[in-house]
Structure 1
Amino acid sequence: MIYSISIYLVGSGTFSFVIWIAGAAFFAVAFFFSGNERWMKVPGGFRKICYCLIALVFVVLITCVIAMLSHFSDKGEDNLDYIVVLGAQMRDSGPSIVFKYRLDAAYEYLEKNPGTICIVSGGQGPNESISEGEGGKTYLANKGLDPERIIAETKAIDTTENIAFSMNIIDGRDQNVDKTKKIGIVTNNFHVFRGVHIAKKQTTADIYGIAAYTEPWYLPNNMVRESFGIIRDLPLLY
């Protein structure tokens, strides 16, 4: 419950804090049934169904976590043709902390690789005063990057569209079909696995992950929420 409150107070615009309320309720019920042999009084068939469901959830969650961890430290490689920064919430004061970490990772890469073009992708949500693409471009330009190196994609509303619309921009700019393009996907460490695998399904370019930082306190919430994203997008990943 304490963790749920801390997630709620971040005000990210999502309802993922409800997951932790549900977890607290589950363990409260488990605690109740653990006393006075109440659980053993429950019909055996129902107990077996509960065991199977708990095991299934555990296996799915562990599988998703292992998949995420496999790309947790991706750093791409030098001299990529493009990097695509996946959007996240923009606030009136600037990028949200999650988005800021992605943009800072992009800035660090672009400083070291002056020939790389950056696409910042993301549309404008109902609670945003500016599109994520434009807000991210402004943030990077204010840090000293040449605006000519930064392209704002302003229509995407989710990860799949972030990548698809960005690839359309790249294909429209680069007509050299004989060259295999190298493209980096910049997002927070827990999100790289899904971003990279969606991108690999949408293009013949060489795709690399570039993992941005996430505050450790929020990693459990982000990884559980990302597991739902992996399950939903499974047909797009393989």
Structure 2
Amino acid sequence: MKKRIIQYSGYVLAIVCLLYFCILMATIGPAFRFSFVWLVLGLFFLGVSLVLTFSKRGFQWMPKPVVALIEAIVMCGCLIFVVIEGMIIADSAKQPKEEADYLIVLGAKVNGTTPSLILQYRINKAAEYMRMHPNTKAIVSGGQGADEGISEAEAMRNGLLSYGIDVDRIIMEDQSTSTKENLDYSKEILTKAGENVKESKVVVVTTDFHVLRAVGIARKAGYEQVEGLAAKSVWYLIPTNYVREFMAVVKDKLIGNM
């Protein structure tokens, strides 16, 4: 019975992973390398199910202690994954409790001079907040990649200006290349402007899956009154982003960024 459950579950998971991989190839192409994780997972699940289907012994050749160890590792891994994903989802639903002195809008991919969809959603969310809170200023934070026509910060500034946000309310930080640098360099800007980072009310604007990690990194960097504001995800990237973010949270926790 246990063998059949694993066998059929493997086929289902293989189909889901391989179909999703095809969707990613059709929508964003091979440039997004994490997409290939779904291909590898699909082939892995397919391989396990094929072994259980066509081999009389299946994995019975393995010593029982080894099987028990593998099962324990898998169960612990699944439990950790579920807990962290629950935290990511919970933080994505939170709303800022107080009016911010500053937004820090985190950058994302720019296609030439046009914001990617994920970045446009962040711009939209920041503009919506700034219209509702006219005293809030924004630091738009993001450098320029080799394949980007302008910096992410400039793309965000242009986007906010198109919404009618006053240029005097927008501060550019265009050197950062990671979330940690976004927040460290923005902190330097605030400090040079005479702001007390520990007392300033800061809201980090980023995509829903990224809020937990971004706020965690901000707190580690010295922001004490910091909250997150979630922009929506691109629908077909939701599984990829949430799985990849799990790995990023674990990595940043282990290296001390959070």
TM-score of the superposed pair, with normalisation by structure 2:
0.85
Taking a change above 3 Å as real, the CA distance of residues 176 and 231 of structure 1, as seen in their structure-2 partners, is closer
SS at match of 2:92: coil
Residues 187-196 or 76-85, more deviating: 76-85
Aligned equivalents of 1:185, 1:78: Cα separation in 2: 13
Aligned equivalents of 2:250, 2:113: Cα separation in 1: 33
Equivalent residues of 2:113, 2:150 under 8 A apart = no
- CA deviation string 1:174-227 (max 9, x = no partner): 3468x8210001001110000001101112430011011113432111000111
Task: Find 1:117's aligned residue among 105, 118, 137.
Answer: 137
Alignment correspondent of 1:33: 51
Equivalent residues of 1:103, 1:136 under 8 A apart = yes
Task: In structure 2, give the amino acid aligned to 1:236.
Answer: N
Q: Unaligned stretches of 5+ in structure 1?
A: none
Q: Quick check: 1:51 aligned with 2:68?
A: no
Task: In structure 1, give the amino acid aligned to 2:60.
Answer: M
Which residues of 2 match residues 96-115 of structure 1 at below 5 A?
A: 96-115=116-135
Alignment correspondent of 2:40: 22
Alignment correspondent of 1:192: 211
Task: In structure 1, give the amino acid aligned to 2:246.
Answer: S
- CA deviation string 1:71-109 (max 9, x = no partner): 111221342100001110011251111111111110100
Aligned residues: 236
Task: Find 1:159's aligned residue among 179, 195, 202.
Answer: 179
Identity of aligned residues (%): 29
Q: Quick check: 1:183 aligned with 2:202?
A: yes
Q: Which has the larger radius of gyration?
A: 2
- CA deviation string 1:88-140 (max 9, x = no partner): 00112511111111111101000000100001111111111111011111111
Aligned equivalents of 1:203, 1:62: Cα separation in 2: 29
Task: In structure 1, give the amino acid aligned to 2:228.
Answer: G
Equivalent residues of 1:86, 1:120 under 8 A apart = yes
Alignment correspondent of 2:6: none
Between 1 and 2, higher relative CO (CA 8 Å, sep ≥ 6) is seen in: 1
Taking a change above 3 Å as real, the CA distance of residues 223 and 98 of structure 1, as seen in their structure-2 partners, is same
Taking a change above 3 Å as real, the CA distance of residues 12 and 175 of structure 1, as seen in their structure-2 partners, is farther
Q: Unaligned stretches of 5+ in structure 2?
A: 1-17
Which residues of 2 match residues 207-226 of structure 1 at below 5 A?
A: 207-226=226-245
Task: Find 2:96's aligned residue among 71, 76, 94.
Answer: 76
SS at match of 2:149: coil
Task: In structure 2, give the amino acid aligned to 1:200.
Answer: R
Taking a change above 3 Å as real, the CA distance of residues 135 and 204 of structure 1, as seen in their structure-2 partners, is closer
Aligned equivalents of 2:107, 2:93: Cα separation in 1: 20
Equivalent residues of 2:113, 2:148 under 8 A apart = no
* CA apart distance, 1:148: 1.2
Task: Find 1:5's aligned residue among 15, 22, 35.
Answer: 22
